[in-house]
Amino acid sequence: MFFKVISYVVPFSILLIILCGVKEKKDVFKLFIEGVLEGLHIVYSIFPYILAITIIMGLLKDTGALTILLAPLTPILTYFHIPTEVVPLFLMRPLSGGASTSVVMDIFKTSGVDSTAGLIASIVMGASETTFYTATVLLGSVGIKKTRGILIAGLLADITIMIIGVLLVNAHFVS
């Protein structure tokens, strides 16, 4: 029953937006097109960064450089039951949502969605934020220049989520 109701939320929301626009005597289609164009401009401006980070992560992984860089951390990661596959996600998530999504999709493809790495990645993606990107865009849009305290709090929240994700998955899903 619940899932049947949920499947109507998006169509109902779209219909509600259209009806509100018509009631306010707005050209809903024109506003929709303007929103799409604005979204395309945003995608156009951030796509090179997402692509660059994705290519860099792929190169690090494919050349074996990531394995070499993670080698000193492997005993610590093993001791705390942290799969090495999620380390790139831990590094990417505060920087870029698109690049971290790419990392998660790679984890899902190589390790599986129900693997320890897949479950940790799901928790991290669902509960953390792209701290640097969000702080830059949101605070920059209102002219706030001193962001040190906000960035520290955001990064501490991200680290907390990563730790909790590892603990939850290891406590409940790993035998």
Asked if residue 143 has pLDDT above 90, the reply is no
Tell me, yes or no, whether 154 lies in a domain.
Answer: yes
Domain assignment of residue 96, given as a range? 48-172
- What is the average pLDDT across 52-72? 83
Asked if residue 141 has pLDDT above 80, the reply is no
Asked if residue 46 has pLDDT above 70, the reply is yes
Tell me, yes or no, whether 25 lies in a domain.
Answer: no
Torsion of CA 128, 130, 135, 141, to 10 degrees: -120
Q: Which backbone phi and psi does 17 adopt, to 5 degrees? A: -65, -45
What burial letters (b/e) apply to 85-122, b meaning 16+ CB within 10 Å? bbbbbbebbbbbbbbbbbbbebbbeebeeebbbbbbbb
Tell me, yes or no, whether 7 lies in a domain.
Answer: no
Tell me, yes or no, whether 140 lies in a domain.
Answer: yes
Tell me, yes or no, whether 20 lies in a domain.
Answer: no
Tell me, yes or no, whether 134 lies in a domain.
Answer: yes
User: How many structural domains comprise the chain?
Assistant: 1
Confidence at residue 163, expressed as pLDDT on a 0 to 100 scale: 93
The per-residue pLDDT for range 82-95, each reduced to its tens digit, is 998 899 899 888 88
Query: How many alpha carbons lie under 13 Å from residue 144 in its C-beta half-sphere?
Result: 13
What burial letters (b/e) apply to 61-78, b meaning 16+ CB within 10 Å? beeeebeeeeeeeeeeee
Tell me, yes or no, whether 11 lies in a domain.
Answer: no
